[in-house]
Amino acid sequence: MKLTAQSRIVVFTGAGVSADSGISTFRDSDGLWCNHRIEEVCTAEAMVYNRKGVIDFYNERRRELLTKEPNPAHLAIAKLEQYFDQVQVITQNVDDLHERAGSTHITHLHGELRKLRSSRDESATVPIEGWRQDYDTRHPDGSLLRPFIVFFGEGVPMLEQAIRITEQADIFIVVGTSLKVYPAASLLQYVRPEAQVFLVDPGNPDLSASRNIVFIKKRAAIGVPELVDQLLDALKTTD
Ligand code: APR
């Protein structure tokens, strides 16, 4: 594999990249959607009919996040920026562990726990100090604030940007996603045929529809640092 410092690296992550930081995934046996009903905490309707329940759910996610740290997978992904000029992270995660690990070009497809937003304008965000959102705090535009999370059934405003980034990739690394949620999972279809795809996951993601993928059947905290070391070795042999 011919790699240079100008090779464009894109890393597409899901909940599995944060699992080794102690944050639950969604669909594993002890996942969040095994203990909470999506209809009650992650839809626009729930925001109307179960406002307190939704706010409590995301307050709990935020409170838990404050006790967690980036793991070796997040750190290895951030380390790529020391060797490659163009590293982009596209994440389905709403935690800030990629930021805290040091990655600097991050596209959040499903929102961010550490921000709230206007109920009127999906792009009008405000940062949240600490973990607690009060039930009736309002945005400066007068609307009630809500979590800055893309709920099921809502549009994914960052999708176009993510597609443009994906189409440029020379190396596309998928980490810790079941590839079950669209349109995020469709990103794989936008990877150029000549780009190399790697997938790090200890489980059995459905690769039937995919093209040549190097599948690394390991936990992210083990498999991602190993992959990054291989990429750096390939870079050295090319220089
Ligand atoms: N390291 C790497 N991958 C792991 C690990 C680990 N330690 N533990 C679990 N995984 C893998 C699982 O095998 C699975 O493939 O992480 C993936 C988790 O899948 P999901 O729980 O479905 O999470 P994700 O794919 O991110 O969900 C996508 O669904 O609920 C919505 O908006 C939510 O962004 C989320 C989206």
Domains and CATH numbers, the chain: 1-23+70-110+156-239 (3.40.50.1220), 24-67+112-149 (3.30.1600.10)
Each residue's pLDDT tens digit, 159-218: 999 999 999 999 999 999 999 999 999 999 999 999 999 999 999 887 876 778 999 999
Ligand 1 centre to CA of 40 (Å) is 20
Asked if 55 and 108 touch (Cβ cutoff 8 Å), the reply is: no
Check pocket membership of 31 for ligand 1, CB cut-off 6 A.
yes
Ligand 1 centre to CA of 200 (Å) is 11
Asked if 159 and 109 touch (Cβ cutoff 8 Å), the reply is: yes
What is the C-alpha to C-alpha distance for residues 100 and 201, in angstroms, rounded to an integer?
Answer: 22
What is the C-alpha to C-alpha distance for residues 29 and 101, in angstroms, rounded to an integer?
Answer: 27
Least confident stretch, 16-25, 111-120, 200-209: 200-209
Check pocket membership of 203 for ligand 1, CB cut-off 6 A.
yes
Residues acting as catalytic residues:
110
Q: Quote the pTM value.
A: 0.97
What is the C-alpha to C-alpha distance for residues 139 and 146, in angstroms, rounded to an integer?
Answer: 9
Check pocket membership of 25 for ligand 1, CB cut-off 6 A.
yes
Each residue's pLDDT tens digit, 70-88: 999 999 999 999 999 999 9
Residue 237: per-residue pLDDT? 82
Residue 83 neighbours by CB distance under 10 Å: 16
Residue 1 pLDDT > 70: no
